[in-house]
Amino acid sequence: MSFTVIIPARLASTRLPDKPLADIGGLPMIVRVAQRAALSQAARIVVATDSHEVRQACEMHQVEAVMTRADHASGSDRLAEACELLGLDGTDLVVNVQGDEPLIAPSMIDACVRLLRERPQCVMSTVAHALDDAAEFANPNVVKLVTDAQGLALYFSRAPLPWWRDGSSPAAPTPKPGSALRHVGLYAYHAGFLRRFPTLAASPLEQIESLEQLRVLWHGERIAVHVSDEKPGPGVDTPEDLARVRRLIEAQGD
């Protein structure tokens, strides 16, 4: 199962400046992410960045990095340029691992790729897990999704989805047990589609929700969803998240 993991990384972050370089147990976060991805079955791990500081940090720790433009609207756009720079063939498989997931499960990466191989009608695959926590269900920073009977994505949203008519109220959205899914920002693509992605017009839904995967659905393409039994480790969006991950890494002795 040969595939390439590309990790998009940019320094600009309103909630946590210089996030990819944040120290976690003596290593920059972007290096932590690359090391976790390297535990998957990936043949190659590459960081795609617009920052010379990020590239230098990667090179210091023997992590391959390529320089991309600074004007990309999304991580998928940055990966599309990286595919060109790396000379990947249109049939090659590429996995987008977010640069703020230093505890990403390698098995989750492998499962996402396997699913895409099994679903030739899909241009992408992604990951979700069961969501039962009411606070997370109501949190707009937690992306929810719904699928069809074949496990293909119907919609992604920051809103509580699906709405439990008989068990929720506007003041207290509540997930019906066993029905809600939390989206994990992990994607596998065919490199050929990834190159085509920037040529697709941005969709109104994508702009409203600020979710780039809605562009794919808007243009009639299909996204397969792997529903994982395990929850991913926490990502890092805020200083509080960073402190939490530091504690977890320290407890693991890594």
* pLDDT, tens only, 28-68: 999 999 999 999 999 999 999 999 999 999 999 999 999 99
225/151 Cα distance (integer angstroms)? 6
Considering the chain, what percentage of its residues have pLDDT values greater than 90?
A: 80
For 178-193, give one letter per residue: b (16+ CB within 10 A) or e: eebbbbbbbbbbbbeb
Phi, psi of 145 (to 5 degrees): -150, 160
Whether cis (ω within 30° of 0) applies to the bond prior to 162 is yes
Q: pTM for the complete prediction?
A: 0.91
210: left (phi over 0), alpha (psi -120 to 50) or beta: left
pLDDT at residue 23, as a whole number:
94
Q: Which residue has the tokens 């109501």?
A: 138
Closest to 134 (Cα-Cα) out of 186, 84, 100, 174: 174
Considering the chain, what percentage of its residues have pLDDT values greater than 70?
A: 99
- Residue at 111: amino acid letter: A
Check: CB of residue 228 under 8 Å from CB of residue 184.
Answer: yes
109/27 Cα distance (integer angstroms)? 22
Confidence of residue 111 (pLDDT cuts 50, 70, 90): very high
